[in-house]
Structure 1
Amino acid sequence: MGDISEQDERRRRLAAWKASGRTLWRGSADRPLGERLAALAADAPSVHDLDEWTDVYGDGVVAELESRVADLLGFPAAAFFPTGTMAQQVALRCWAGRTGNATVALHPLAHPEVHEGGALSVVSGLRTVHPTSAPRLPTAGEIHAADEPFGTLMLELPLRDAGFVLPTWDELVAVVAAARERDAVVHFDGARLWECVTHFGRPLKEIAGLADSVYVSFYKSLDGMSGAMLVGPSAVVEEARVWRHRYGGQLFQQYPAALSALLGIERELPRLPSYVAHARVVATALAEAFGAPARGTEGEPDAPWFRVHPRTPHTHQFQVWLPYDAAVLNEAAVRQAEETGVTLFRRWFDSGAGPPGVAVAEVTVGSAGLEWTAQDVRRAVGEFMERVVAENGSAD
């Protein structure tokens, strides 16, 4: 029954989000199958000749995508993978063989440690160590001070579960140099690397060029269906292709994912800096609204404790924390969408490691969010909190 209930709740959320006239972001998975397929068929001719034969085991449009991404990131070779989880396991396994050290240094909040079921050790035979547990990327000093040798340093840029946070450019350069001084190679988990350009103030090639290999995703920021790319030296990428086959990633045809990735590169990639800039407007307005007195009063706000993190977002995504249970906030969020046609927050989650009764939401600002003014955000917060308080009462 629990699975059925969750499926019903998901359908309710999807219906509310789709019907909303105003939302900060529309995800590619928010649309019905027919709508998604029709859009792909209508748009794909702008990025690829549809009279060409379909891809077979990675040629055709898939090979074109590989060449395009290798050039974008400034690497000699690229290999398309069905998932980022597979791409990174393969990359780290290849580097372990070359360095002779199967230990990977990474953050405990990095994707392989939190979201992959221990696959690095269980599937790939690798071992992990953590240079820091602070909610940020490690510093050069922490890399130098690591207790034992490691063959690869993996840096997730941005570090999603810490709030989509990034180091400064100088800090990143220093961390990479520190790893090299320890005879380690550097791999970037760049699932969201595309949107780091604004924060670093450097072009993609210069950012990616700090690393020995990089993985990027196509569905997280570029509105693609699925898929990932691993870029690096030619010899490493060729070995990665062999392991991709062994891991079950040599798919017969992948043209829908490849076409949607090319569309994302063509259409969404150039717009990401505008999303990052507007995310800062939205974050500032959220902080102002949550800090304001409750409606109709001159006293305390409805959420006397809240966090917008980072206060100035590093990318077009950031976190909001509120002192309410996730179930209360989720009901208020979906009711607001259903009753007003405004989707401010999509999903809230219990904080996990934090205190009870505190929940966190991830906020993404995309093309739809560019229409929001700061006043729109403040008004939406007021409407949201009215529903939260009606459901739960003011926070303690």
Structure 2
Amino acid sequence: MSTTNPLVEAFNQTAYPVIGHGKRNVSVLIEALEQIDPELDSDNYGSGEVIERFQAQIAQYLGKPSAVFFPSGTMAQQIALRIWCDRKGLKKVAYHPLSHLEIHEEQGLQELHQIESILLADKTRIIRLEDVVNLKEDVACVLLELPQREIGGQLPEYEELEAISSYCREKGIKLHLDGARLYETLPYYQKTAEEICSLFDSVYVSFYKGIGGIAGAMLAGDEEFTKESKVWKRRHGGDLISLYPYILSAEYYFNERKDKMGLYYEAAKELADFYRACRALEVRPQVPVSNMFHVHVPLPKSKLEPILISVYQDTEVGLTANLKENGEHACYYEVSLGDRYAKIPKAKLAQAMKLLDERTADVL
């Protein structure tokens, strides 16, 4: 019995997929390694030129004294929060109810580290200064995700970030940045990564999401913090004998794409205009603040999926491969733009959006 998802299959067959940079296949690694000297020594249990050079580059980019490469962001963030909890002698942290730690990690923070999570704000909006000020319990650390992926990539205004940072420092609360998509926020804020990270005590960034590498993450902070994180990395089994396939691909695509985030942001705003012209569709946020937004449709998955497949077949434009239910009678999908968008003929895109508008309106 086939388990192929018809929408995924139809999306993969389109000539002009809209989202992302490209297919995640072996070519991602091959391209990254093409220019590498084959005699370059690999890293060895966290040391060596390959890993130390890249760690130094990212530490400088983020404006932090030191950085440590991790195989995953899940590992890096749990360790960051564990360190701050141990420092304060208080195993409580606060973050958004749709944080990755809360909904995607099988309660890893609680089961592995016995850390209690205090949820801030509600599932429909970002964390505000008032949420932090009105905390009913003491916490060792507050985690902010920029942008907040699960609600369409929303962002607080920069002045509010500054206010949250000042408040936390005044109260002795550490502030950690879930910066999996930090790079994508820079065009909206018109700030450097260093300026944003200066508001935080520790920072995590990813190299496979907006950057498009294979896997890997970096955890940055002061020297004492990162030294301690290396010990926890070993305890977690993350100190592999060699991580160079991840490191070299991360380094290559970081250097290739870090300066293109403005292009992806402008593309998102342009595409959101197309979506807003569709009568039955809602864009959240209405005007994107990064290269990401969500499209909400007042139809169940079972009715939207055949509409999308028909649009893909008629136009060769693929809008999404995944739909998420939003109750019984609605669904939504995430749009995250990268290199692919610029390759789509505008006439093709306009045709696809016109058909999507007409066919969703007809069903409704």
TM (norm. structure 1) is 0.86
- Matched to 1:36, the amino acid is V
- 2:69/2:219 contact within 8 Å kept: yes
Aligned alpha-carbon RMSD (Å): 2.1
Aligned to 1:279: 268
- Matched to 2:179, the amino acid is G
Cα distance in 2 for partners of 1:216, 1:312 equals 25
Cα distance in 1 for partners of 2:105, 2:30 equals 33
Aligned to 1:97: 86
Aligned to 1:9: 5
Aligned to 1:394: 363
- 1:195/1:315 contact within 8 Å kept: yes
2:335 to 363, 369, 391: 363
**CA offset at residue 75 of structure 1?**
0.7
Cα distance change of structure 1 residues 152 and 220 upon mapping to structure 2, 3 Å threshold: same
SS in 1 for 2:214: coil
SS in 2 for 1:211: coil
Q: In the alignment, does 2:42 pair up with 1:74?
A: no
Structural mapping, 1:186-197, within 5 Å: 186-197=175-186
Q: What is the identity percentage for the equivalent residue pairs of Structure 1 and Structure 2?
A: 31
Cα distance in 1 for partners of 2:246, 2:313 equals 32
Q: In the alignment, does 2:9 pair up with 1:20?
A: no
SS in 2 for 1:214: strand
SS in 1 for 2:303: helix
**CA offset at residue 329 of structure 1?**
2.5
- Matched to 2:320, the amino acid is F
Cα distance change of structure 1 residues 183 and 37 upon mapping to structure 2, 3 Å threshold: closer
- Matched to 2:43, the amino acid is D
Structural mapping, 1:1-396, within 5 Å: 5=3, 8-9=4-5, 13=8, 16-27=10-21, 30-33=23-26, 35-42=27-34, 44-45=35-36, 49-59=37-47, 60-133=49-122, 135-288=124-277, 290-291=278-279, 303=280, 306-351=281-326, 355-372=327-344, 376-385=348-357, 394-395=363-364
**CA offset at residue 64 of structure 1?**
1.7
- 1:138/1:175 contact within 8 Å kept: no
Q: Deviations over 1:147-189 (max 9, x none)?
A: 1111101001111111111000001111111222221010000
State how many pairs are aligned: 363
Q: Deviations over 1:112-143 (max 9, x none)?
A: 11111111111111111123215233222221
Q: Unaligned stretches of 5+ in structure 1?
A: 292-302
- 1:334/1:346 contact within 8 Å kept: no
Cα distance change of structure 1 residues 58 and 17 upon mapping to structure 2, 3 Å threshold: farther
- Matched to 2:185, the amino acid is C
* 4+ residue segments displaced more than 6 Å: none
- Matched to 2:30, the amino acid is A
Structure having greater relative contact order (Cα 8 Å, sep ≥ 6): 2
**CA offset at residue 37 of structure 1?**
4.0
Q: Deviations over 1:82-118 (max 9, x none)?
A: 1101100000000111122211011111111111111
- 1:285/1:374 contact within 8 Å kept: no
